[in-house]
Amino acid sequence: MNAAAELRNVRKRRGRFRLGPADLALEQGLVTAVVGPNGAGKTTLFRLLAGLLKPDEGEVRLFGTPAGPDPNGELKARLGYVEEYIQPLDDRATVGEWTRFTARWRGARWNEANWQRLARAFELDPEASWRELSPGMKKRASFALALAHDPDLLLLDEPSSGLDPFAWRIMMEEIRRYMDGGERTAIVATHVMEEVRRLADIIVFLYDGRILGVYEKDRLLEDWKTIWAVLPADEALLLPGVVAAERADGGAARIVTRDARRTESALRGRGAAVTEMRAVELEDILWHILQLDKTEKGSGVR
């Protein structure tokens, strides 16, 4: 696997919060969604990947290169980064002034034609000062600036926060356009499950500074199912793959499984009729994964 980003036994403490130990390898050419509740460590993770924080232990690597000192700026030139909270060095600068500063910083990689296209799409006024912009307009401008130089790795920390539906749709289209460019990679932290459904190839679930799991989105949706079967709920709980079961109408059980094939096979083996099967919503899958982790942590099983 050609990894765009790697964490090797990374630990980072920020006040009372601790991230890690974290091991992660994200393949080039894919969109990875990092999901988790507030305070899970998503922003800390992104700032480590962007080289804005140094790990207390372990190593962060981008494209096989340590994400530490970058005196020539070669590694940072390959990155586009949108922070959740955006604040330029001088908020009195206009959008046009901030753009010219970014273009000089990006050097030969800056794509003026791409910037002009993005500025038109997001209706950016070059004469507007940064401090005058609404949070949504700041996010539009930051996204366009991060994408303008055609980076190899796009880091987006809550990119749609504050956006109206019109701008959100444009952003989704631009991320898809960006990914069509070849072996480019995007890592997106988001609370919006619709973004995960539309964009993600891989889902990383982060909770309390720990990586609970790394999943292929399509496989996750294929494996997790809600099944209605004619079987007592307490018996259904003992079947392989089942994470929850409750009594439903007509003497059936409503079963949530993380391994639909094994659960179906076990039901057939018991002669229990399956009356209905549905996909489990992504947010519900993640909730169940979190509950399973809490149960295992409480029981000492890891």
Give, in order, the Cα–Cα distances in Å from 269 to each of 13, 262, 272, 302.
50, 11, 8, 30
Tens digits of per-residue pLDDT, 11-56? 999 999 999 999 999 999 999 999 999 899 999 999 999 988 999 9
Of the candidates 200, 223, 232, the one whose C-alpha atom is nearest the C-alpha of residue 277 is 223
Q: For position 294, what pLDDT does the model report? A: 85
How confident is the model over 62-74, as pLDDT tens digits?
999 888 776 667 8
Task: Assign a CATH topology to domain 3-219.
Answer: Rossmann fold (3.40.50)
3-219 and 224-299 share one fold: no
Q: Is the pLDDT of residue 235 over 80?
A: yes
Q: What is the dihedral of CA 230, 232, 236, 238, to 10 degrees?
A: -150
Lowest mean pLDDT among 109-118, 135-144, 214-223, 247-256: 247-256
What is d(CA 288, CA 244) in angstroms, rounded to the nearest whole number?
9
Structure tokens, 189: 């932290």
Q: Residue 249: what pLDDT?
A: 82
62, 10 in Cβ contact below 8 A? no
Token pair, residue 184, equals 């480019």
pLDDT in tens, 199-215: 999 999 999 999 999 99
Q: Which amino acid is at 266?
A: A
Q: What's the pLDDT at 302? A: 41
The domain spans of the chain are 3-219, 224-299
- Separation CA 289–CA 122 (nearest Å): 37
Q: What is the pLDDT of residues 122-131, one digit of tens each?
A: 999 999 998 8
- 270 close to 231: Cβ distance less than 8 angstroms: yes
Output the pTM of the full model: 0.92
| Region of poorest pLDDT, from 22-31, 110-119, 170-179, 287-296 | 287-296
Phi and psi angles of residue 190, each rounded to the nearest 5 degrees, phi first: -155, 150
Query: Under DSSP, is residue 202 helix (H, G, I), strand (E, B) or coil?
Result: strand
Can you name the CATH fold of 224-299? Alpha-Beta Plaits (3.30.70)
